[in-house]
A and B are shown apart, each in its own frame.
Chain A
């Protein structure tokens, strides 16, 4: 199908763009190093001696907060800066196809980085008998979380030709989406805000959904949540790109 071809062409280009520069390798190394450092040193994975990965997955929202915007920032800002957006959008490609292609490529890249953490579950297996179902659920949750962050970063990337601005905006938005449902913050808020409001705001946050899935509870509603965040952010990206000013 012609439509799919174009999505695939854009995705393929974007994927190879990551590996055409050292950025991909640097990103993967930093991601693995930080994931390892937090899991083993900060959370004392060994000393705790527990064969579960909660200490590993606990850090992902914070890792992604910084690292995913770094992956997303060039997606559109660079197209604007180089002027290639004009080339792309006059080559019989719809913005929707281009957006989807780019998002899929970057998501696949994040999936690759996440897959390379496989020594950590192997270590858990060596320490004891982990619940592989929970681990699988944890990985699914982490992948969805990464996709949602990515959609946020893609949106901020479409807003500007400056990658640094795109990065900062994405971190700020991401921070809001974490903190709105982060327990220490919700506890603080519930001291002076009505409970329904705190819960309402928290429902927008990544955290309750991520934490629930991570415990091994795969609820359809959490899938719907992450799907909606991605869909909404890509929709906003579409609005921004569709409203072309020519600069």
Chain B
């Protein structure tokens, strides 16, 4: 369990993290979202016991991180931004070193390192110096390092930043695998990531928590949520005018028209679902509906909204 209360971090006059409070329960994959410079790294560093907060408290599994960083760190696996690694070591040498710092020795250490290398698909590069690894393998080594002591909490700062799409997919799958009965908190400014992975989303901007919700809820906030796009063949009729009569429809746009074929966009009054009533109307008039798409909502709309408006929306997940 992570419990953060009134966390503040000031660098000189600049407030990087401004009164942030939240709690995270076991089993959660929390996406910590925000534009560059929002304060994600600073927040995570304070939870990891690396940076002391200016004020506020952080508890990890009941341990106060500020008062007892080492005890808290035994519960935490942390991958810092940009995956710093000891470049002069080999992959297995590096993992053995971290395992020793984590209190493992001898056979137990070697066994654990071998297991983790297997799980993170690093066995083939285990004798390779870290500075010769490709970015994907480097990131996997960074992830492997967080798992050695089987921590209850994983903090991953921008885990897929700078990877190509295939490498991103591999890292995402690894995170999915790790997720069971842990808390994972990952920061990112990539939206597809949170959609793919997270059960909960927090958006931070200018050091303040702007929103705390689930991906589904968030998408509903998107302006285009449930906008219906309809391809319809309506001989000798004007479907746009007819469909505009539906009470829930606020507006109908004609996207395209070619003879009797119409492509229409129906915007709901209050983000209601329009599919059923649209099909009803079409059947009544004996029009042929060839395609029907309801907009699932887009996170980037919400993201842009939230991070550019000043007002704070707090909603518990």
Q: Which of B75-100 contact A (CB under 8 A)?
A: 76, 78, 80, 82, 84-89, 93, 97-98, 100
Query: Contacts A6-B100, A13-B89, A246-B42 given: A91-B73 contact, CB under 8 Å?
Result: yes
Give the shortest distance, in Å, between B43 (CB) and chain A (any CB): 12
Contacts of B7 in A (CB 8 A): none
Interface stretch (choices B47-55, B220-228, B260-268, B304-312):
B47-55
Closest to B142 in A: A87
Which residues on A sit within 8 Å (CB–CB) of B78? 87, 90
A25-33, A78-86, A115-123, A173-181: which lies at the B interface? Answer: A78-86
Cross-chain contact of A244 among B52, B74, B101, B149 (Cβ < 8 A): B52
Q: A8: which B residues are within 8 A, CB to CB?
A: 100
Question: Quick check: is A62 within 8 A (CB to CB) of the other chain?
Answer: no
Given A9-B101, A87-B80 in contact, is the A21-B74 Cβ separation under 8 Å?
A: no
- The answer to whether B45 and A92 touch across the interface, beta carbons within 8 angstroms, is no
Q: Is B257 an interface residue (CB 8 A)?
A: no
**Known contacts A86-B45, A246-B51; A92/B87 CB under 8 A:** no
A62 to chain B, nearest CB (A): 30
> Which residues of chain B come closer than 8 Å to A94, judged between CB atoms?
70
**Cβ contact of B105, chosen from A5, A84, A86, A244, cutoff 8 A:** A5
A24-54 contact mask (Cβ, 8 Å, vs B): 1 or 0: 0000000000000000000000000000000
Contact B86 A84 (CB under 8 A): yes
B205 on the interface (CB 8 Å rule)?
no
Assess whether A89 is in contact with B86, with CB atoms less than 8 Å apart: no
**Which of A5, A9, A16, A89 has most chain B Cβ within 10 Å?**
A9
Cross-chain contact A90 with B76 (CB below 8 angstroms): yes
Q: Would B52 and A83 count as touching, CB distance under 8 A? A: no
Bound CA span A245–B73, Å: 19
Q: Is the CB of A91 within 8 A of B50?
A: no
Residues of A within 8 A of B100 (CB): 5-6, 8-9, 12
By secondary structure, the B interface counts as loop
Bound Cα distance A89, B50 (Å): 6
Interface contact B88-A17, CB-CB below 8 Å:
yes
A91, closest chain B residue (CB)? B101
In the complex, the answer to whether A93 meets B76 with C-beta atoms within 8 Å is no
> A246–B48 Cα gap in the complex (Å)?
12
Contact indicator A91/B102 (Cβ below 8 Å): yes
Q: Report chain A residues within 8 Å CB of B102.
A: 91-92
Q: How close is B83's CB to chain A, nearest CB, in angstroms?
A: 9
Write out, one digit per residue, whether chain B residues 56-82 have a CB within 8 A of any chain A CB (1) or not (0). 000000000000001001101010101
| Assembled-state Cα–Cα distance A94/B68 (Å) | 11
Q: Are A83 and B82 in contact (CB under 8 A)?
A: yes
Total chain B interface residues with beta-carbon distance under 8 A: 31
- Contacting B at CB under 8 A, from A90-140, are 90-94
Residues in A whose Cβ lies below 8 Å from that of B74: 92
How extensive is the interface on chain A, given as a class? Answer: 20 to 34
For B87, the chain A residues whose CB sits under 8 A away are: 82
A82 with B70: CB separation less than 8 A: no
For B188, the chain A residues whose CB sits under 8 A away are none
Give chain A residues whose Cβ lies under 8 Å from the Cβ of B103: 2, 5-6, 92
Q: Are B84 and A82 in contact (CB under 8 A)?
A: yes
Given the known interface contacts A13-B89, A244-B51, the answer about A6 and B101 at a Cβ–Cβ threshold of 8 Å is yes
User: Is A86 in contact with B50, judged by CB distance below 8 angstroms?
Assistant: yes
List of A residues within 8 angstroms of B85 by Cβ = 82, 84, 87
Q: Which of chain A's residues has its CB closest to B71's CB?
A: A92
Chain B residues with CB under 8 A of A246: 11, 42, 45, 50-51
Q: Could you say which residues of chain A place their CB within 8 Å of the CB of B45? A: 86, 246
B145 within 8 A of partner (CB): yes
Q: Does A20 have its Cβ within 8 Å of any Cβ on chain B? A: yes
- Chain B residues with CB under 8 Å of A20's CB are 88-89
Min C-beta distance of B75 to chain A, whole Å: 9
Residues in B whose Cβ lies below 8 Å from that of A88: 101
**CB closest chain-A residue, reference B86:** A84
Q: Are B50 and A244 in contact (CB under 8 A)?
A: yes
| A88 CA / B45 CA spacing, docked (Å) | 13
Q: Is the CB of A86 within 8 A of B84?
A: yes
**Which residues does chain B contribute within 8 Å of A90, judged by CB atoms?**
48-50, 73, 76, 78, 80
Distance of B58 from chain A, by nearest CB (Å): 13
Which A residues are in CB contact (< 8 Å) with B97? 9, 12-13
Distance in Å: Cβ of A43 to nearest Cβ of chain B? 38
CB distance from B229 to the nearest CB of A (A): 47
**Measured CA separation A20–B82 after assembly (Å):** 24
- Complex A-B: 18 CB contacts under 8 Å: A8-B100, A10-B101, A16-B93, A17-B88, A20-B88, A20-B89, A82-B84, A82-B86, A83-B82, A84-B84, A87-B145, A90-B80, A91-B98, A92-B74, A92-B101, A92-B102, A92-B149, A244-B51
Question: What are the nearest 10 A-B pairs in CB distance?
Answer: A83-B84, A9-B100, A92-B73, A91-B101, A86-B80, A20-B88, A90-B48, A90-B78, A84-B84, A13-B97
Q: A87-B80, A92-B74 are in contact. List 15 more A-B contacts (CB 8 A).
A: A5-B100, A9-B97, A13-B86, A17-B86, A20-B89, A82-B85, A82-B87, A84-B84, A86-B84, A87-B78, A91-B101, A92-B70, A92-B102, A93-B101, A246-B42
